[in-house]
Chain A
Amino acid sequence: MKRFEPLIEWALLLCALLSIGTTAGIILVLTIETFAFLREVPVTDFLFGTNWTPLFATPSFGVLPLVAGTVMVSAIAMAVALPMGLLSAVYLSEYAPLGVRRMVKPILEILAGVPTVVYGYFALLFVTPLLQQVLPGLAGFNALSPGIVMGIMILPLVSSLSEDAMQAVPRGLREGAYALGATKMQTSLRVVLPAAFSGITAACILAASRAIGETMIVAIAAGQQPRLTANPLVPIETMTAYIVQVSLGDTPQGTLEYRTIFAVGMLLFLGTFMLNLVSAWLRARFREEYS
């Protein structure tokens, strides 16, 4: 038995190193194909071009329309999830009686566990028709409806991570505020929220990263028309939806069209990676403050 101990430790370490391998694999695969892509398309054309028509006979590879579509849907999602998530976090952390917490938290967990393809169905066949009754100009595919549904999807993430941050604020701070005659709302908004600020910001950035990387809702309900617009009522296309669109077709390996999905994927990876790093850094700072 004792002879095997070092062997076991090495085997375990090997497994742990696989996660490093995963990251390396992602970077490697994306880099190789992206470089191959950039040999044919100048990087400035790719990053700053305003026309994305890679599948046309006269292709154009300006990624901005996809970026704009992604940012718009994510912004709508955050506009829904941020206020709702923060308010519900404040309520759950500072106000809600134990019974309500016990009931609400599992429901939020269920919301977070619903597969995204189901949210896509919901956006396309329930929310869009509903909104069309109020906004007659709303197209069947649009940015608004998937944005709202995505907001509902990431709400639990914002809410539960923010609540964790608020729970970590020491009781002494709250008691200090109450002793000065502050109401619950004043305590929550002026003492607890600022104290938990970096933790909450970390939660919101993580949620934004999730929204940017979300695929199925937009692939189903936002359309496949890359366009540079600020109008949320018309069909658009996001980076993730584009990758799905190409994957569904039969694009042969090694062609320029095939490589576009890796170039777009690279952009997506770098963007979310930055956000994740900032979020992790903020979380670490927050933990240091209160431990």
Chain B
Amino acid sequence: MTGTSLADGGVQRAIARRRFLDLAFQALALLILILALGSLIALITDVWRDGFSRLSWDFLTGFPSRRAANAGIWHALSGSMLVILVTGTLAVPIGVASAIYLEEYSRRNLMARIIEINITNLAAVPSIIYGLLGLGLFVRAMGMGRSVLAGASTLALLVLPVIILSTREALRAVPPSIREGSYALGATKWQTVWYQVLPIALPGILTGMILALSRAIGETAPLISIGALTFVAFAPDGLWSPFTVLPIQIFNWVSRPQVEFQANAAAGILVLLALLLTMNAAAIWLRDHYQKKLS
């Protein structure tokens, strides 16, 4: 290679140096990705090592106890599931309706712009601020107390922007030619939206919904600040019942100095992660299943 007419020694050395830097850069980037991946693995193995031995049927169906070895999480698990159910019932219809308005009806005027900017902004407001809103509005002003309904309402406001944004995305993916075809047959706007656009967008909407609810199920801070009690020792029996949720129970156990309770926290985390994994898997399955069906 040396002595070719294309480049003299100086240029060649510069090229070699650049090559080396290029490789070093790639190696560094890969190292960082491995580090990120490594911390995920460390997190999971750590939790697994600490908590796996505590997992049992009794743990899942048991109630809190002063003795760590007897404590279970049924009260928190059922609380989480009820709260998420109510959150979804409140947030999904309103979120989907908002998205339909913004995507299909609004005339791109000033008001639509303001609503859009506002939603983007709400999506980035810290979750604990929603907790303060829930405390001031639902718990105090509306007199709901520290109930399931107050907690679910707070979480519904929290996930609303997420549902609106993902639903708009799904609606935007429906080809305009479908809408035209429907209008050309004499369909009204709502008929077009209801019979043609929504069914096509449904898998996308559901996927977004599941992801939004799986965010809600892991939320701790807003429920703590509305005062979801950490020492509730029973499963909630209705909308007005006091409640606790899985993340709060985990937080409660982590804060204890005894190693036994920390093992309970780890086991609780495993249950929470399993719940999240199931929800995400459902979202992915939905997306793939319907994508195949449509194409």
Interface, chain A (partner B; CB < 8 A) = 1-2, 4-5, 8-9, 11-13, 15-20, 22-23, 25-26, 29-30, 32-33, 84, 87-88, 90-91, 95, 104, 107-108, 110-111, 113-122, 124-126, 152, 155, 183-186, 206, 209-210, 212-216, 219-220, 240, 243-244, 247-248, 253, 261-262, 265, 268-269, 272-273, 276-277, 279-280
Contact = CB atoms under 8 A, between A and B. Distances in A.
Given A1-B191, A115-B272, A247-B224, 16 more contacts: A18-B160, A29-B137, A30-B132, A113-B276, A116-B220, A120-B251, A120-B254, A124-B254, A126-B42, A185-B18, A185-B22, A240-B126, A240-B128, A243-B132, A272-B129, A276-B125
Given A91-B29, A152-B36, A206 B118 contact: no
Closest 9 CB pairs of A and B: A213-B126, A115-B218, A91-B29, A29-B136, A215-B221, A15-B97, A12-B101, A16-B98, A16-B101
A280 B121 contact: yes
B220 A265 contact: no
A4 B19 CA distance: 68
13 contacts: A1-B191, A15-B95, A16-B106, A23-B121, A88-B29, A95-B26, A111-B36, A122-B46, A152-B39, A213-B128, A240-B221, A247-B224, A276-B120
Given A1-B191, A240-B221, A269-B125, A183 B98 contact: no
Given A16-B97, A84-B35, A126 B43 contact: yes
Given A17-B115, A20-B114, A183-B19, A91 B129 contact: no
B32 interface: yes
Contacts, number: 241
Given A4-B190, A8-B190, A243 B128 contact: yes
A183 B214 CA distance: 43
Interface residues of B, number: 86
Nearest to B141: A29
Grouping DSSP codes into helix (H, G, I), strand (E, B) and loop, the B interface class, with mixed when no group exceeds half, is: helix
Contact of B132 (A120, A253, A262): A262
Contacts of B94: 15, 18
Interface string B166-184: 0000000000000000000
B157 to A, nearest CB: 5
A118 B105 contact: no
Grouping DSSP codes into helix (H, G, I), strand (E, B) and loop, the A interface class, with mixed when no group exceeds half, is: helix
A122 B221 contact: no
Interface stretch (B52-60, B63-71, B261-269, B287-295): B261-269
B225 interface: yes
B25 interface: yes
Contact of A26 (B28, B29, B129, B269): B129
Interface in B238-262: 247, 250-251, 254-255, 262
B28 A87 contact: yes
A179 B122 CA distance: 44
